[in-house]
Structure formats: C-alpha cells, structure tokens
Structure 1
Amino acid sequence: MEPIEINAGGYYLRALRADDLLDDRPAILRAFEDPEMKRWVSDYRIGDLADAGAYVANRADEWARDVRCSWAVAEPTTGALLGEVNLRGLAEGDPQAACWTHPDHRGLGVATTALGAAVRFGFGALDLPEIGYKHDPDNTASLRVAEKCGFQFVGESEQDGTRLLHWVAVPPTP
C-alpha cells in the first residue's frame, strides 16, 4: 500500500521523510535520545542520523509490504515532525495502535489527535474490526491517550518481563 496522508485537524499525518525537501531524521534522533522515549519505547535504538535514516526506510518498507501504516505527525505549515502514530500487526490480523510524541511537543494533545485520526482510518479505510493498544502501567501519558481516544480497558499481560495494560477500540455503531 502506498502511504496515505491524513488531515487530522490541527496536525497533518504523512509518511516519515528523509529527502532534500523534508528531513525527519534530526527530529527522530533527538526524540529517541530523550530519557522518557528510551524508557517507554525500548525496542528501537537510534544513536545517529544513519540509524534515523534506517528507521525512516523501515517505515516505508512496512507501508509497501502492508504490515504497518505509519505516519509522521507534522505541523501543517512547516512540516516539522511532532511525533509518530501507527497501526501495526496488520498482516498478522492483530492490529495494534502505537504512538510517540517528540519531547518538545508533549502535553499538547498531539498523540491523542493523531491516534484518533489513525484509528478512524483503520476502521474506515482498512475495515478493521478492532484495534488494540498496549502500554506499561506506569506510562500515565499512554493511559490518558487510550482513554481520550475511546479505547476500553480489557486486561493485562506480561511480555518479556514487562507488565502491559491492554485496551481495545471497536468501530462506532451506525
């Protein structure tokens, strides 16, 4: 699938980029150097611009293989990267939403707005029957995002020694 752009009201959702016109790599590097990002997003290590470039290339490849829809959450007038939101697990039939916000833009509703738009896309364009969302119980920002986006708490599990809270969203009934 080709990347789809979404107008999310105050933000613009687009593919991550690293080209002559728009380069998200410095913002990605800065975000993943942040201690809070390292704490909650531990499955990626981005230590330099090359790692950030590989991250961007990987997201493009995942779009092409229909395994993950990933969007840069961008400021609409400058295109500046404010965070990322994605729907993953599509090929496995277990769609899960995930998001992160750049440290300079936390607390402004970026993740809530972007995740809401991605979930609507998942239900409307991809016809997903439900979308999951998981996070560490100590990540109170993720808890608030899940609640604000209408996810319902369904339980918890342990994965690789980490306790996770599980949430699920279903399409609205007509």
Structure 2
Amino acid sequence: MQPVEINAGTWYLRSLRADERITDVPALSHLQVDDPTTYVTAAQRGWESETRFVWAICIPTTGELIALIGITTDGSSGRLWGEARDGYDEALDAAIGPVTRFAEGALGLPVGEPLSRGIY
C-alpha cells in the first residue's frame, strides 16, 4: 500500500520523508529516535508490507514534523501508538480520531486499546 495522507483539522498527516525536498531526520532526533534515517526507511517498508503505518503529524504551513502517530498490526486488530515533541501533545490528540477511523474503515483493523505513548 502507498502511504495515505490525512487531514486532522489543524494538523496535516503524511508519511515520513528523508529526501532532497523534505527531511524528518532532525525532528525524529528530537523525539529520541536513535537512527532516524533507518527509522524512515523502516516506516516506508511498513506501509509496503501493510504491517505498520506511520504518519508524521506536521504543521501545515511548514511541513515540520511535530509528532508521530502509527498503527501496528497485531493479528486482526491494530495497536495505536504515538509521541509528540514538547509542547505539541494537542496535535497528537487531534490525530487519534482520524487515524483510528482510517485503521478501522480503510484497513479493517479495529483499534481497541487507547493510545500507547512512545515510538515503535
């Protein structure tokens, strides 16, 4: 599956990037990701294999990553997880509903557990 962009009200959700136009590597470092470049590659593979769906929650005017949210498949259901940079918990909270609806409606993955904090 190709990554799907989501509008979460004030926030814009897109796949992770590390290319000549946009790089999320510095922002991922702020989220304590040990190897941000490898993390971006793994996130892309997760979309391709439909096992892990990761979105950058971004400021719409700049595209700057301020939080991450994702769904990891767990058998016939999905586990929702996410983490925000300092001061951006509201962006993560705003993304929960749209991402949950995408998981349940488009992927057929019920999300029963509340958001797990952290990066997976």
The unaligned stretches of length 5 or more in structure 1 are 33-44, 136-141, 143-174
The aligned counterpart of 1:124 is 105
Contact 2:100 2:111 in 1 (8 A): no
TM-score, L = length of structure 2? 0.88
- The AA in structure 1 aligned to 2:59 is E
Report the Cα distance in structure 2 between the residues aligned to 1:129 and 1:113, rounded to whole angstroms: 19
- 1:11-90 matches, within 5 Å, as 11-32=11-32, 46=34, 51-90=35-74
Task: State the percentage of identical aligned residues.
Answer: 32
TM-score, L = length of structure 1? 0.62
> Cα offset for 1:134?
5.8
The aligned counterpart of 2:81 is 98
Report the Cα distance in structure 2 between the residues aligned to 1:129 and 1:56, rounded to whole angstroms: 25
Contact 2:24 2:65 in 1 (8 A): yes
The aligned counterpart of 1:37 is none
The aligned counterpart of 1:157 is none
Higher RCO, Cα 8 Å, sep 6+? 2
Once the two structures are superposed, residues 112-137 of structure 1 have per-residue CA deviations (whole angstroms, 9 ceiling, x without a partner) of: 111111001112212233432364xx
Q: Extract structure 1 runs of 4+ deviating beyond 6 A.
A: none
The unaligned stretches of length 5 or more in structure 2 are none
- The AA in structure 2 aligned to 1:99 is G
